[in-house]
Amino acid sequence: MPSVLVVDGVGKCFTRYRSEWDRVLGWFGLGRAPIEERWVLQDISFRVDRGEAVALIGANGAGKSTLLKIITGTTRASVGQVVVNGQVSALLELGLGFNPELTGRQNALHLLSMRGVYGDRAEALVQEVEAFAEIGEYFDQPLRVYSSGMQVRVAFSVATAIRPEVLIVDEALSVGDAYFVHKSFERIRSFRETGTTLLFVSHDPSAVRTLCDRAILLEQGRVAMEGEPSEVLDFYNARVAEKEKSSIRVGRSAEGVASTRSGSGEAAFVGVELVDTEGQPVAIARVGDELQLRVTVDVAGLIPALVFGFMIRDRTGQSVFGTNTHHTGQVLQAPEAGSRWRFDVRLPVHLGPGSYSISVALHADDTHLSANYEWWDLAVVFQVVNLAHPTFVGCAWIQTEIQARPMTLGLERVV
């Protein structure tokens, strides 16, 4: 099958000159060489076949955006070359090039002209854009009266009005409400069926696994790994975990990671720590590990009762699990002012891979609403990786078992 996209030895170098005049003279073949060359991309080579879906993953600053810019043609490679057989369309930032004073129709026509489509063909395409965006009579009103969702609808419809040979999709892209998200993914899928190649930029493992045939991991401007999405993702996650460990340690030494603490202060946290069975602090946990949340509290003033609570949240802030000593029947009645307390929470890691945080709270009742002594968001941040268990998705580790056995009619009858 012919390759639609060939990236061959591409490198990108940002240069700094002693004086900008040297740069200008350089255009005429004169002047001094740059004093600094910073290679943000080096030696990138890969090919993508027609109809393939490839994920591009990598941490921020790994060079993903620069590579995409080179592929879309907004910037040029310093060395190497990119060959695209067909039109490239990028869904990176929707709504760029829109003029708020013009109507949806006028904006659509203008954006089409930017791609070299005019006249009758543009008129016909705009009709399709109008039908796909489904924003009714708003289409003939100026963009400034649109809701952001409507703008996104028009922007997506225009950007995908022509089926491109290569479609670049940024995961961070928001395409509006659930209905339209569904509709736009349907369109992307139908493009793929008719041969469009998909280049997908994402951090979301499940999206990469379900959508893509192949993944390319960029690290510090180089291709660190290329292969099956699952393999590449596992490798990437392990790398991220390594890094987070060190950053957490740094954060701790500099008096805690960025977090918010609030409350009246009659009782306060002295220390919150996530430790393993040997009492060592943990930043990376493996699925199934046995951990302990170790909390030290000082009671400073006269309080009627002390309740300790905690909440585990996933990276989006969604609650995963939380409880407090009121619910467990362990309320401390009238603790002495000046006393110090220790709460140890047994915490088996029955969580899916990902990043989690623990918020802790001290209050008088079953909720923190009546008397809130202290509330500490993101008191602990930790990472869960899955190394030992079969791959699974989701935030909960439920030890399911699957039994597979052949079934015959005879057996059925006996049962």
Q: Where on the chain is the footprint of other proteins (CB under 8 A)? A: 14-15, 20, 23-24, 27-28, 69, 72-76, 78, 88, 92-93, 96-97, 99-102, 106, 109-110, 113-114, 116-119, 142
Question: Which C-beta is closer to other proteins: that of 15 or that of 264?
Answer: 15
CB of 24 to other proteins, least distance (A): 7
Question: Which C-beta is closer to other proteins: that of 47 or that of 110?
Answer: 110
Place of tokens 């690290």: 219
CB of 124 to other proteins, least distance (A): 15
Question: Which C-beta is closer to other proteins: that of 59 or that of 102?
Answer: 102
CB of 147 to other proteins, least distance (A): 19
178 three-class SS: helix
Q: What is the CA radius of gyration of the chain?
A: 28
Q: What are phi and psi of 343, to 5 degrees?
A: -115, 125
Q: Which H or E run includes 181?
A: helix 178-193
**CA angle, 276 as apex, 270 and 279 as ends, to 5°?**
60
Which strands, in side-by-side order, build the sheet including 88-91? 88-91, 166-170, 197-201, 53-57, 214-219, 222-227
Place of tokens 């006996």: 414
* Six token digits for residue 367: 């909720």
Question: Which C-beta is closer to other proteins: that of 12 or that of 153?
Answer: 12
CB of 83 to other proteins, least distance (A): 15
CB of 204 to other proteins, least distance (A): 22
CB of 44 to other proteins, least distance (A): 17
Strand 372-385, strand 261-262: pairing: antiparallel
CB of 210 to other proteins, least distance (A): 28
CB of 99 to other proteins, least distance (A): 5
Question: Which C-beta is closer to other proteins: that of 124 or that of 337?
Answer: 124
CB of 92 to other proteins, least distance (A): 6
Please spell the DSSP secondary structure of 207-270, one letter per residue.
HHHHH-SEEEEEETTEEEEEE-HHHHHHHHHHHHHHHHHHHHHHHHHTTSSS--EES--SEEEE
Question: Which C-beta is closer to other proteins: that of 121 or that of 342?
Answer: 121
Distance CA 206, CA 398 (A): 18
Give the helix ranges, DSSP H, for 84-147.
104-114, 119-133
Question: Which C-beta is closer to other proteins: that of 23 or that of 203?
Answer: 23
Quick one: which of 287, 243, 240, 322 has its CA closest to 393? 287
Question: Which C-beta is closer to other proteins: that of 20 or that of 193?
Answer: 20
Q: C-alpha 358: how far from its chain's center?
A: 20
Q: What are phi and psi of 53, to 5 degrees?
A: -120, 120
- Measured CA distances, 170 to 175, 190, 255, 278, 371 (Å): 11, 18, 36, 43, 45
Question: Which C-beta is closer to other proteins: that of 21 or that of 392?
Answer: 21
